[in-house]
Every structure is written in C-alpha cells, then in structure tokens.
Structure 1
Amino acid sequence: MSIEALKLIPQDEAFNESTFDQEFTQKNKLQDHPEIVQTLKTILKLINPVRVHGAGDHEITTLFRDTVFKNRNTIGTSNLDQLADAGLSDSAGTLTEQGVKLVKAFAAPYKGVEGELAY
C-alpha cells in the first residue's frame, strides 16, 4: 500500500479537512509554501497522530527526524526543503521549536491512520 492510500482519521465526524487545511495555512502564514500542508499530512500518516498526542517536544522531534530519514525518497526532497525554507526544520529533517508546534497543531484533529504501509 502506498502512502497516498493511507487515510488520516479525524477525531470528529463533522471535521472538514479542506477547511482545516486552508485555516491552518492562513493561521500559520504558510501561503508562500503551498506544499507544506501536504508534506505534513504525508509525514503524519507515517508517524500516526496517536504518537504525537501527549508526546513531548523531544519525542516528536525524534519521531519526525527518524520518519524523514527512513522515508526521504517517498516524502520528496523538494517537499522537505520547503519545511526547511519555512524555518520548520533543518536540512536533515530535525524540527525547530516552531516546527514542533506546527506538528502538534496539525495532529490535534486526527485520532489515527487507516490502512497499513508495506515496506
């Protein structure tokens, strides 16, 4: 199964993903980096939002960095570069403080991932 086939499961059935994406982009001033929301979704599918909820900053940074390291080709180097350009991570995939806050905020409305990824 590919990453695209994985689905993030919202906490609330009334959740509107496209509205959330637009509001998230505007609130965090990411209009200049249009692929960041999709990149965060891809990485969150690999991490699983459940692992982010209640996790400390260091744990989230480690999960993110390890996921990026293992899946760099699947995620796409140009997408990872956009995260770095926006100041959310360094070029190696280590989140900045702002990046950790964004990952937590992005994971908040989701309760898990549907599907499994076969390596």
Structure 2
Amino acid sequence: MFSIDEFAQLQFLVGRWRGESADGKVFYEEYDHPEPNVFQSHRYADESFVERTDGSTISFKDGEVTSQWGDFTWRASIIGRDSAVFEPVNAPSRFEWRRVDESTLEAHQRWTAEGKEQQHTIRLNRVIAI
C-alpha cells in the first residue's frame, strides 16, 4: 500500500526522453503528471514530439499503484524518490525504473522465456527543449 505522497515520488519520470529499444530502434517518450493520481506516458514517432504512436498510464487508487499499457497491467511493489519496481499482474515481464542522474533514466526488464531468465536494460536520455 502506498500513500499519494509516495506515488508523487514518480515525478523523476516527468520530461521528454530519447531511448533505443532492444532491436536498435530509437524512440521518443514523454511523461507528464496531469492529475495528482495519474502519470501518463506518450511515445512519439520522432524527436518533434508531435505524432503520438503509443502510451501508458500509471495510476494511484486506494493505496495501489498500477501501470497500464494496452492490455497489460503491472502493480508497483517499491516506489522511492529515484526508482520504482512494477510486478506483472497480467504482463510478460517485471520492470524497474531507475534515475541515474537528472538527465538519464534506466528501464530494466526481466522475464522468463523457455525456462530461462532474460533481462534487458534501456537507457533514456533527457531531451532538452529548445
């Protein structure tokens, strides 16, 4: 169970980010905090941050923090001022966000495939608005 103040610690996600997926494709993502109980992410086609291609929502309700992306759902197990861990509810992997510094995030995923644990880390760099 989390408090709304603990949920607000996810503020470290807010901003515009550039990352590279496991298959080498560059992506652009933006996190915002439009309501006290909601963080939203939007993925964009390019660095112009105009054409949205995807998105997800992290919500706080009755002490639970859930992340929803399409049909997949995760539940937060840990939230700190520089990191958060989400366990799968009906999703293929566990993931963890970690702030490395003010301009760098890491998203670490873990899953099991063919009986073997797999993992991948994506590094995101803050995109400076001009």
Bin of the TM-score, shorter chain as denominator length: under 0.3
Return the structure number with greater strand share.
2
- Larger Rg computed on CA atoms: 2
